[in-house]
Amino acid sequence: MASFWFWIVAAMIATYVVLDGFDLGAGAIYLMAAKNNGERRQVLRAIGPVWDGNEVWLIAAGGTLYFAFPQLYASSFSGFYLPLMIVLWLLMLRAVGIEFRAHIDSPVWQDFFDVVFSVSSILLAVFFGAALGNVVRGVPLDATGYFFEPLWTNFKLSSGVGILDWYTVLIGAMALVTLTAHGSYYVALKTDGDLGRRARGFALVCWPLQFFLTFSSLLATYFIRPDIVTNYREHKIGMLVPIVVVSSLAVMLWANPKGKEKLAFVASSLYIAFMLVGAAFALYPVVLPARDHQYDLTIYNSAASSHGLGVGLVWWTFSAALAVAYFVFVYRKFRGKVQVGEGHY
Amino acid sequence: MESALLIHRLHFAFTATFHYLFPQLTMGLALLIVVLKTIGLRRNDPLYHQAARFWAKIFGINFVLGVVTGIPMEFQFGTNWSIFSRFAGGVIGQTLAMEGMFAFFLESAFLGLFLYGEKRLSPKTHWLSAVAVFVGSWLSGYFIIATDAFMQHPVGYVTAADGSLQLASFWHFVLNPWAGWQYAHNMGGAAITGAFIMTSVGAFYLLSGKWTAHARIFVKAGVIAGCLFSILQIFPTGDRQGKMVTDLQPVTLAAMEGLFQGQTEAPLLIVGQPNEQQGKIDNPIAIPGVLSMLTYRRWNANVRGLDAFPKQDWPDNVPLLYYSYHIMVGLGTFFVAIMVVALLLLWRDRLFHAKWMLWILMLAAPFPYIANTAGWMTAELGRQPWLVYGLMRTEDGYSKLVSAGNSMFTLLGFMGIYVVLGILGLFLLWREIEHGPVDGHESASNLYSATLYSATEAR
């Protein structure tokens, strides 16, 4: 039962990153790709109707994680105290940037919120990557089942680790490049003209970086945690992950110059989903590795009671079906490209 | 009090109090907008549709602020109260996860359609999206109340071998008797905020001589709803909640009422300052016997005072609890008084010309916020010294590894951001109110609208 919830939570987190990832990525290229007010409004219109719903996946994933693995929620949220709070502030500023920018028709007001939106998007991408890096690298859990990490110590992995060290910064950089490419494909898909062309250009520049960072971060992961490949050795189905990751990278390289943005976007989504699922596969059944492995949090020592998990399965399935129905409905309403000068503001 | 404990408590109190300024209006307006749209649809009256559209804009700005200040709440259980989260997560994780899965998905999916999709949806579908947003926001309220109810009066759990609480009976937990009355009382409070704000804006327009046709709808709808919910707030919901506190948290009742010594024919204190040092109330004005009647339904019933309980089980801030409760009750009584008078004037067709009453209604706008805040302070200060009533003390629940310094750093960060958000919100709301409920301008600025229309035309 607990393994089932492990995969549900992993899938919800992956869904969140794929969905909010494209609006974060759109924010990352926003200042450079969208040169004038008209183009910036186009980018915002492309993400405006969906960003809030995308972010609900984060809240829902957080809530589900709390419900299924209370010990994991308690340990990781208090241990990652500072970066989480900074992420919350960035999420707030970003939301305000998107929503309040258009309320006043003044270049000064709008320039201000443009920078707020873009900078917070970039920092969020880096922090989410660093968070993933922390989970894979392991955290200084002790016998009490708790830990607290400062933001940084000496950027080495030797003694007391911080949130940011060379490894987690590398993963943060990979996340930024990956989400920038992801957002670029989305903007290219939803807009045309100069803006769409520039977004494609950004995606072209991102590809070699993404390729390089993917392989260097995988190597680095193997270097700091050789045991990460154990699950892959024992369960051949895991080989699906590298196959999908490599082929989606190839598809992105091929599809983007040909103007097949939709295909490139789907490939990018698959890449993100499988990188995350791949990480979860490597960790399973550990949910939060400790630097000292005897204190690892696993699905066995951090899950809620099986009665609670069973009850949750009933309402979760029902609510997830409803949620998917809403999303299909809303995305169908917002199909197609957004145009210059259209709309109301 | 330990400094880390104090800062962690302030952290949650500050972020929760500030956050709740927004959802109370969101939930109240959601109901009133559905009412306006229903009337507009049935009577085919464009004025009601315009009124609904105007309030949707206010709703939209308020909703954004509610969402951004609400996100931290979901995380703070884990960040600042990790020991508690581990202890109770096997139970309250259920309702917190359900809020996200049932309420937030529903709300967020239909919000864009409701706020900016009116032109492209059929009137019925648009009405339905307003109902979906209303249902989503009121569902969200229930899951939070059910979570709080568990902390006030834990039911439906078992204690596991490792000492943590685990779910024993889902229905018992979700249908906690405490949650029922608290939900009704809380949602009544939200409806009162919505009604008073709507009335206040209407009164402002009438006094300014602007948009009078719309203003009359606002005042009429606001006064009828305000009167209804203000009365329900006292009876039955407030009365029943008081009874529940009497039965389940008698020490809290004693502290709320400022009853240091238990007595028969206990008086109801109207004003007076608790003097903890001497264990009495200074400068009291009280009505004899009424407290006994309200709590045990008999004039001569014995009501236990604080002296009947060991000091370590008293709520740790008796004066603040006492004042919160008295401010809430005092304002609630005042709401009934002004709304009943306003309704009589409305019935006699004199309200729209009674300037003095319009002034009162206009200036009353901030008071429901104060009453709602005081109400939540009564509930949560009254729960002290317990985090989960009778099971875990507050001092045992916070994150021991998050130092006071780190907690203060983020508390100050939240304060800074919330000040900016508050100023921005007030500024944008004022602009909308000043602009008025006219058609054709449809918020010169709406992001969603533009997206919706443009996406349509591209198809």
Secondary structure string (H, E, C) spanning chain A: CHHHHHHHHHHHHHHHHHHHHHHHHHHHHHHHHCCCHHHHHHHHHHHCCCHHHHHHHHHHHHHHHHHHCHHHHHHHHHHCHHHHHHHHHHHHHHHHHHHHHHHCCCHHHHHHHHHHHHHHHHHHHHHHHHHHHHHHHCECCCCCCCCCCCCECCCCCCCCCCCECHHHHHHHHHHHHHHHHHHHHHHHHHCCHHHHHHHHHHHHHHHHHHHHHHHHHHHHHHHHCHHHHHHHHHCHHHHHHHHHHHHHHHHHHHHCCCCCHHHHHHHHHHHHHHHHHHHHHHHCCEEECECCHHHCEEHHHHCCCHHHHHHHHHHHHHHHHHHHHHHHHHHHHCCCCCCCCCCCC
Cβ pair B101:A63 closer than 8 A: yes
**With contacts defined as CB-CB under 8 Å, which chain B residues touch A72?**
none
Q: Are B98 and A315 in contact (CB under 8 A)?
A: yes
pLDDT of amino acid B451:
41
- Return d(Cα A344, Cα B57) in angstroms, integer: 14
Residue B443 pLDDT level (bands cut at 50, 70, 90): very low
For residue B80, what is the nearest residue in chain A, using CA coordinates? A78
Which tens digits make up the pLDDT trace of B355-376? 999 999 999 999 999 999 999 9
For residue B92, what is the nearest residue in chain A, using CA coordinates? A67
Q: Distance (Å) from the C-alpha of residue A23 to the closest C-alpha of chain B? A: 15
pLDDT of amino acid A330:
72
Instruction: Reply yes or no on whether the pLDDT at B442 is more than 50.
Output: no
Mean of pLDDT values over B325-332: 96
Instruction: Reply yes or no on whether the pLDDT at A245 is more than 50.
Output: yes
**With contacts defined as CB-CB under 8 Å, which chain B residues touch A46?**
451
Mean of pLDDT values over B245-250: 94
pLDDT of amino acid A333:
67
pLDDT of amino acid B416:
95
Among residues of chain A, what percentage have pLDDT more than 90?
67
Q: Give the Cβ contact number of residue B352 at 10 Å.
A: 18
Structural Rg of chain B based on CA atoms: 23
Instruction: Reply yes or no on whether the pLDDT at B446 is more than 60.
Output: no
Cβ pair B406:A81 closer than 8 A: yes
**What is the CATH number that goes with domain A2-333?**
1.20.1630.10
- Return d(Cα B30, Cα A103) in angstroms, integer: 22
Which tens digits make up the pLDDT trace of A173-226? 999 999 999 999 999 998 888 999 999 999 999 999 999 999 999 999 999 888
Peptide bond into B368 cis (omega under 30): no
Mean of pLDDT values over A269-287: 94
* CB within 8 Å of chain B, chain A residues 304-343: 304-305, 307-308, 311-312, 315-316, 319-320, 322-323, 326-327, 329-330, 333-339, 342-343
Mean of pLDDT values over A235-249: 92
Which tens digits make up the pLDDT trace of A299-327? 999 999 999 999 999 999 999 999 889 87
Place of tokens 């950027």: A155
Please state whether beta strands B263-264 and B302-303 pair in parallel, antiparallel, or not at all (unpaired).
Answer: antiparallel
Q: Are A181 and A210 in contact (CB under 8 A)?
A: yes
Which tens digits make up the pLDDT trace of B262-306? 998 899 999 999 998 898 999 999 998 899 989 998 888 999 999
**Domain chopping of chain B, boundaries:** 3-237+352-458
For residue B397, what is the nearest residue in chain A, using CA coordinates? A74
Instruction: Reply yes or no on whether the pLDDT at B456 is more than 70.
Output: no
pLDDT of amino acid A342:
42
Cβ pair A344:B453 closer than 8 A: yes
Residue A51 pLDDT level (bands cut at 50, 70, 90): confident
**With contacts defined as CB-CB under 8 Å, which chain A residues touch B448?**
48-49
Instruction: Reply yes or no on whether the pLDDT at B448 is more than 60.
Output: no
Residue B113 pLDDT level (bands cut at 50, 70, 90): confident
CB-based contact, B422 to chain A, within 8 Å:
no
Mean of pLDDT values over A244-256: 93
Mean of pLDDT values over B35-55: 94
| pLDDT winner (highest mean) among A12-16, A153-157, B439-443 | A12-16
Cβ pair B96:A63 closer than 8 A: yes
CB-based contact, B115 to chain A, within 8 Å:
no
pLDDT of amino acid B247:
93
**With contacts defined as CB-CB under 8 Å, which chain A residues touch B417?**
89, 92-93
pLDDT of amino acid B379:
96
Phi and psi (nearest 5°) for A312?
A: -60, -35
pLDDT of amino acid A46:
86
Query: Shortest CA distance to B202 belongs to which of B331, B425, B360, B26?
Result: B360
- Using left for φ > 0, alpha for ψ between -120 and 50, and beta otherwise, residue B395 falls in alpha
